[in-house]
């Protein structure tokens, strides 16, 4: 892959054979984010698991203490009083039949879908549309729940879900470069700690193979995997 002059200049300042301390790594990340927009802080973790086996799947949710920096548009599919509950909690959209019909016609102006269990038989019609985009409500990610207001509050506060891919890697955004260093550090600590707590009992050998952070347009910076603050 051909890299830009800017990228090559940035990567020359980073030792790819070094695992940096958490604070130092974040300092380097912020200094290397020179794009003309507020870049996302991304984290990629290589895990010692084989996701082909169900007992080694790593999947879950975490509420980042300082959010992602992104305005998340939440659609709640529910009926009755739960519609009002969702809207009062800050949902951008809430309802049922009208939104199912809109989605079937191509409307997708939302980032997360929450549904109450009693309407899942109707939401199931949207499987082919939402499923391929990773938007289908799921009990494991907390997006199928009778407590729709609580789910909306958590999502708006910075709750994200994650899932290891078929190569054993988890990759997601955990903030913005405009965050101060302390907020980025605390978001990383919360995310990595959540991954550690989900270590499958069937996983053998080294669980955390590598942890790297980067800005949207910047090079990866490897972090020290033995940092004890991850488990706080």
pLDDT in tens, 148-168: 999 999 999 889 989 999 999
Shared-domain flag, residues 45 and 95: no
Strands 40-47, 169-176: pairing is antiparallel
Shared-domain flag, residues 135 and 176: no
Shared-domain flag, residues 164 and 175: yes
Residue-wise pLDDT for 120-149, tens only, equals: 999 999 999 999 998 999 998 889 999 999
Shared-domain flag, residues 128 and 178: no
Measure Cα distances from 167 to 5, 44, 68, 141, 216 in Å.
Answer: 30, 12, 25, 21, 21
Structure tokens at 28: 């380097």
Mean pLDDT confidence for 79-99: 96
Strands 112-115, 59-63: pairing is unpaired
pLDDT at 34 over 50: yes
Shared-domain flag, residues 83 and 101: yes
- CA dist 211 and 225 (Å) reads 7
Cβ neighbours of residue 129 closer than 8 Å, sequence gap 6 or more = 103, 104, 108
192-204 burial, b for 16+ CB within 10 Å, e for fewer? Answer: bebbeebebeebe
Please report which helix (H) or strand (E) contains residue 178, including its range: none
The domain boundary, picked from 157, 188, 216, lies at 157
Shared-domain flag, residues 16 and 56: yes
Shared-domain flag, residues 96 and 43: no
Mean pLDDT confidence for 162-185: 95
Shared-domain flag, residues 52 and 100: no
CATH number at residue 93: 3.40.50.790
134: containing domain? 74-157
Strands 208-215, 40-47: pairing is antiparallel
104 DSSP 8-state letter: H
At 232, is the pLDDT very low, low, confident or very high (cuts 50, 70, 90)?
very low
CATH number at residue 184: 3.30.190.20
Shared-domain flag, residues 20 and 130: no
Q: What is the mean pLDDT of the chain?
A: 91
Give the chain's domain count. Answer: 2
What pTM was computed for the model?
A: 0.81
Shared-domain flag, residues 84 and 152: yes
CA 26 to chain centre: 18
Contact 75, 110 (CB under 8 A): yes
Shared-domain flag, residues 59 and 43: yes
Shared-domain flag, residues 33 and 78: no
- CA dist 189 and 211 (Å) reads 12
């Amino acid at each position: 892959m051909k890299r830009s002059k800017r990228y090559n200049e940035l990567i020359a300042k980073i030792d790819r054979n070094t695992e940096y301390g958490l604070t130092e790594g974040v300092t380097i990340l912020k200094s290397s984010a020179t794009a003309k927009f507020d870049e996302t802080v991304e984290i990629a973790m290589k895990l010692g698991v084989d996701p082909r086996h169900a007992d080694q799947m790593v999947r879950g949710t975490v509420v980042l203490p300082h959010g992602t920096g992104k305005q998340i548009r939440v659609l709640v599919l529910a009926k009755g009083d739960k519609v009002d509950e969702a809207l009062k909690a800050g949902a951008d959209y809430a309802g049922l039949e009208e939104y199912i019909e809109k989605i079937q016609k191509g409307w997708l102006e939302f980032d997360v879908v929450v549904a109450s269990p009693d309407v899942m038989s109707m939401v199931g019609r949207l499987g082919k549309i939402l499923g391929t985009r990773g938007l289908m409500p799921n009990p494991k990610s907390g997006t199928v729940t009778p407590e729709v207001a609580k789910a909306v509050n958590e999502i708006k506060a910075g709750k994200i879900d994650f899932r290891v891919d078929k190569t054993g890697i988890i990759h997601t955004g955990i903030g913005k470069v405009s965050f101060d260093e302390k907020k980025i550090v605390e978001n990383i600590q919360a995310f990595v700690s959540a991954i550690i707590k989900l270590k499958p009992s069937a996983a053998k050998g080294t669980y955390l193979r590598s942890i790297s952070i980067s800005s949207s347009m910047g090079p990866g910076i490897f972090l020290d995997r033995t940092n004890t603050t991850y488990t706080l």
